[in-house]
A and B are shown apart, each in its own frame.
Chain A
Amino acid sequence: MNRRLTGGLALSVIMISTVGCAQTPPPHSALTDAQARVSAAEAKGAQQVPTASLYLKMAQDGIETARALMAEDKNKRAAMVLQRAQKDAELAASLANEDLMKRKANEQIEHVKSLQQTNNARLVGSASHG
């Protein structure tokens, strides 16, 4: 009886000890994902777009912070920081893309204006010749 009790107690102690020592695993996957998103934002030229570069910098800083936290086994907090860094990098890429789309739209609009001016000039020219 005592032996059985002793064994059960020992098991309980081991289980409690295991749960108590359970730690969040290092968020390697989240780190890799955040790095990939930062690279994607850089590829879109986020550094050159003021609004985008701000969020890119925050993402890069977040990754560095997360690395430091992971080094201290503060993985749960690192995972949260990486989650924010992912969003910042994603937003930086989106703002860079927005800037590109804006410039393309303006170019097209300028082309149209230029063409319309040319056509109008031709019409005026042909009207005066006719």
Chain B
Amino acid sequence: MSGCASSQPSPKFTEAQRTYEVAAQGKAGEFAPDLLLESKKLLDEAEAAPNGSKKQIHLAYLADRQARLAASSAASEDYQNQANNAHAKYVSGLEQKSNSASEQLDASQSRLTEKTAALSASEGARKEAELREQAALASLDKLAQVKEEANETVITLSGSVLFETNKAKLLPIAESSLVKVANAIKTMGEEKEIVIEGHTDDRGALDMNKQLSQERAESVLAFLAGQGVDRSRMKAEGKGESDPVASNDSPEGRANNRRVELHISGGSDSNSAKTASAVRTSL
């Protein structure tokens, strides 16, 4: 029996040894030490078995598979770790993406808040301007008187509201009221004639007052023409201080005397009451 035993170990044993060494040098020692140890035990048993015997070949076979199993199991563990690390990086990347999106959202919201605040301020300013304009118009309405006389309608506008002192240039606020006047005139018949009279108080030189009242009447005429009222229907007359409606002895009286009157007359529609009503409605 011993005579049949070879002096050399079985090639299967040598192969199993190499497989074991490869596994041990790899990650099996770290990730699958139990499986590797089992392979070593089988290898030791094979080594102890008679060289070339069926027992040695059988044990070497098992040791080889066990070493491969250890290597494969370790590789799986290694891949699992790689997957876990990659997943952690992915989650971290998602958080980074989320944070970046959140920062961008915050920035957008911040910009939106700023714009809303600016818009609100702008809206507030606009409302304030509207209120000022309404107040000014209200004061103008109080000062724009409409009277019906026998054959004409007379609209009287306070000079102090239309012009700066001693100047013929219309104040911006007066233009709003004159736009309404222009619209009212345009609703009347095309054949109506409009005489625009400028009046002053009695302070200052006569000639100067005459000239100032003329220039003021012409300013109103020019503005109304600019608003679409036919220029050929209008005429400007500077009356100076010649036609007061109140005493020049008091400040209130002088203020009433500083005025521009629009005398609207003529045309087929001779009903001045109707014309005045139309003007009031427009104003």
Q: Is B96 an interface residue when CB atoms closer than 8 A count as contact?
A: yes
> Contact: A119 with B76, CB < 8 Å?
no
Tell which of A95, A104, A122, A123 touches B72, judged by Cβ atoms closer than 8 Å: A95
> Contact: B86 with A115, CB < 8 Å?
no
Of residues 89 through 139 on chain B, the ones whose CB sits less than 8 Å from some CB of chain A are 89-90, 93-94, 96-97, 100, 104
> Contact: B90 with A108, CB < 8 Å?
yes
Q: Is B145 an interface residue when CB atoms closer than 8 A count as contact?
A: no
Tell which of B58, B69, B96 touches A80, judged by Cβ atoms closer than 8 Å: B58
Interface size on A, residues (CB 8 A): 28
Contacts A115-B97, A118-B97, A123-B100 hold; do A98 and B76 have CB atoms under 8 A apart?
yes
Interface on chain A toward B: helix, strand, loop, or mixed SS? helix
> Contact: A101 with B68, CB < 8 Å?
no
Tell which of B68, B79, B89, B97 touches A91, judged by Cβ atoms closer than 8 Å: B68
> Contact: A112 with B100, CB < 8 Å?
no
Q: Is B242 an interface residue when CB atoms closer than 8 A count as contact?
A: no
Q: Counting chain B CB atoms within 10 Å of each CB, which of A87, A107, A119, A126 scores highest?
A: A87
Q: Which residues of B contact A108 (CB under 8 A)?
A: 82-83, 86-87, 90
Q: Is A105 an interface residue when CB atoms closer than 8 A count as contact?
A: yes
- As a 0/1 sequence over residues 50 to 85 of chain B, the CB contacts with chain A under 8 angstroms (1 = contact) are 000000001001100110110011011001101100
- As a 0/1 sequence over residues 85 to 117 of chain A, the CB contacts with chain B under 8 angstroms (1 = contact) are 001101100110110011011011101100110
Chain B residues at the A interface, C-beta cutoff of 8 Å:
58, 61-62, 65-66, 68-69, 72-73, 75-76, 79-80, 82-83, 86-87, 89-90, 93-94, 96-97, 100, 104
